[in-house]
Structure formats: structure tokens, C-alpha cells
Amino acid sequence: MGLAAFVLLFGLWTVLAPLHSAAVASGLLRADQGGRKVIQHLEGGIIKRLLVREGDSVAAGQALVELDSTATAAEGAALRGSYDALLAQDARLSAERQGLDSVVYPDELLARRDEPQVKAILGASDRLFRAGLGSQGDQVRVLAQRIAQGRAELVGTAPQLAAVAEQSRLIGEELAGVETLVGERLERRTRLLTLQRQQADLASQRERLATSRNKIADTIGELRAQVSLVRGQRTTEAAAEQREVQARLTEAREKLKISSDIARRRIISAPVAGIVTNLRLVTPGGVLPAGQPILDIVPRDMPPVVIVRLHANDIDVVHPGLRAEVRLTPYKTRSVPTLIGYVRQVSADASVDEKTGEVFYETQVILPPAALREVPSVRLVSGMPAEVFVQTGERSLLQYFSQPLIDSFRRAFRES
């Protein structure tokens, strides 16, 4: 009776009791490659100092490699000198265009006016401005002197013209009286002719004086126009030259910005805190090609990943999100419990081991921080072997033993 009850209970257990099914695979512990930072330099250069070694722990922003700055410093100084000269030239042309008496320089130049190079640039610019201003002033002064001379001539001809007019008036009165006397035969006709000749001479003098005054006035007008032309020509030439200088200034500013960026990048720093790994063969004095990787940094806060080889027969039951139990094989099970992770990724296609011919799917199992906090004494090392159990579902003991037999029958019926 007892045996029958035991058999009955065992039968019920085999049918009803759930057993976890799992895909078993082995793998290696790796740092999460998704967070790995490859350190490289855009322009390259000559290595001056290598400041870290393989396995060093670095902080975010910590210097890793220092490049030689001799060439970049020389190029930057040349570009800075050209840029400063263009700034001074632009300020000088602006003063000439506005007709100012002195040059107003920008603050970025005035802030460095005690530097020898900037001081020389400002001095040369001021001398050139004063020379141009002096040349213009000389031309204007010459023209002003000629204008003053013309005005003096106008002033001088005014009394002459008034005297001629007065003489002409008096002779006219006398001529009227003589004409009356000649008509009455009381005066000789020669007297009349003499007065008429004098009247004609005075009219001619008056005409010459008026013509001379008109010419002098025209000359003064032309001289004033030349003064405006001299002043306007300097303004026009300065405006045209300034447009060209400002275009060159924009180009020089961009080149200087690029040069400054390159100079700042001569110190290659860590973008994140982490561990230095995969340090390439770089030595002080060596040439670092542009864009060539120098080293990698594995961030400290990135969760470790177990890279496992999933058997091809398990590909139908394993997918991202499944719970996975990870056992670190170097540690005894008594001292380190099984860690709980989850499947993050399963490769889209199978791979083949060239040595063994094994067909497998590369699968990534993530160990979250919560799982690692349970084993604070465990030191995780990249490359550490692990055994992974991916839970694929539940089935009874009866299903576990009968499934191979059922599969065998199915294959037999398909073959027949």
C-alpha cells in the first residue's frame, strides 16, 4: 500500500511539478564594448610624452599623451601676427573712411598693446595713418592757398571796377554837355571825339575787369571741387581697400581658430573615467599618424558582459531579455553565488569555429550593477571564464524524459 502511494505521488510529481529548462553555454567575461572609448588624434603629430601605461586608472579629463608643440606654436604665432596686422589695417582704413584724426583700435588689440609684436604693428599703423593724413593735408593746404589768392584778387579788382565806373559816369556827364555845345557850334568837334574815345576805353576796362573776376570766381570753384575730391578720394580708396581687408580678416580669423584648436588638442585627455587598455606601440619622439588609435579606455561604470557561444540547437528558444544565471568558474560555488543577468543580444547569423567546426551564435549576457553589488569581494577580470544558464521556460519531468522519444517518432514518421 505504501509503495503504491509512493508510485502514485511520484507519477503526479513527474506530471505536475515544473522544472526550469535552460540553454547552457560557456563564455568569457569582457568589458562592455559599447562603452569602450578609442582614443585617437585628428591631426596627429610627434609624441612628446606618454603619460599613462597599460592598466592605469584615469579620471575624466586626465592627460594621456602630450604632443610636441614646436611646429604648431610657430604656425600659430605666424597666423596671430597676420591676424593682428589685418585688425590694425582694418581700424586704420575705418578711420580714413570716416575722416577721423586718429585710429580707434579694437579692444582685442589694445589688450595686448604691450606685447612687442603688437606694439610694432600699432606703431607702423599709426605712422601710415599720419603719413596719409599729412599728404592729404598738404594737398588741401596748397589748394586753400590758391583759393585765398583768388579771393584776394577778387577783392583787389573791386576798387578798380568801382573807379572805372565812376570815371565812366563823370565822362558821360561831360560828354552830354560837350555834345550840346558842339551842336550849338560853341565847342570844337575834336573835344567831343576825345571824350567818346575815353568813354570807350573805360567800357573796355570795365569789361576786362568783369571777365577777370568771373575767371577768378570759376577758378575758386574748381579749387574747392578739388579739395572735396582730395578728401573724397581718400575716403573712397579706404572703403574699397577695407572691403578687401575684411574678407582677408574673416579668412585669417578662421585659420587662427583652427590653429588654436589644434594647439589645445596637443594634450590628449581622457573623455571618461576608466581603465587604460590596448595601448598601441607609441614612444616619445615617434610620429603619430592622423586618426590612428592610440589606446582604449574602458569606463569604470560600464557593466561587464559575458560573451558566450550559444549552441545552434538553442537558437529557437533564446532571445534578448531572457533571465540568465552566470557562474564564475574560477571561484568556488560556496564562496561566490550564481550571478543573475539577462540576455542583451543574440547575433543575427551563426558563426563557425575554424578549428573545431562548431556552429554557434555569439550571445551577450549583461551583469547589471545590482548583481555585482552582491559580490563586492569578487574581482572581475576581462577574460575570466564563466558558465551561463539561460532560462528558456518550464516543463515537467515527464515532458523532459518523453520529449526526445516524441521527437524521434516525429522524425520517423516524416522519413516514412
Residue 244 and residue 167 share a domain: yes
Q: Look at the chain and count its residues.
A: 416
The answer to whether residue 324 sits within a structural domain is yes
Residue 52 and residue 102 share a domain: no
pTM for the predicted model, two decimal places:
0.51
Residue 122 and residue 46 share a domain: no
Residues in a beta bridge with 287? 46
Cα(145)–Cα(153) distance, rounded to whole angstroms?
A: 12
The answer to whether residue 258 sits within a structural domain is yes
Spatial CA neighbour of 366 closest among 333, 326, 329: 326
- 255-294 pLDDT, tens digit each: 889 888 888 888 888 888 888 888 886 778 888 888 888 8
How many other β-carbons are positioned within 10 Å of the β-carbon of residue 286? 10
Q: Of 208, 243, 262, which marks where a domain is finished?
A: 262
Residue 293 and residue 175 share a domain: no
Residue 96 and residue 216 share a domain: yes
The answer to whether residue 68 sits within a structural domain is no
Cell of 395: 516543463
Residue span of the structural domain in which 225 resides: 74-262
Residue 378 and residue 314 share a domain: yes
Looking at the structure of the chain, the number of domains it has is 3
Residue 338 and residue 401 share a domain: yes
Pairing relationship of beta strands 339-346 and 385-396 according to DSSP bridges? unpaired
Cα(129)–Cα(137) distance, rounded to whole angstroms?
A: 12
CB contact at 8 A, 265 and 40: no
Residue 165 and residue 56 share a domain: no
The answer to whether residue 241 sits within a structural domain is yes
- pLDDT over 90 percentage in the chain: 3
Mean pLDDT rounded to a whole number for the chain: 79
The better pLDDT of the pair 381, 49 is held by 49
Cα(208)–Cα(210) distance, rounded to whole angstroms?
A: 5
- 77-101 pLDDT, tens digit each: 888 989 999 999 899 888 888 888 8
Cell of 70: 614646436
- 95-152 pLDDT, tens digit each: 888 888 888 899 988 889 888 998 899 888 888 888 777 666 667 777 777 777 777 7
Residue 101 and residue 51 share a domain: no
Residue 247 and residue 344 share a domain: no
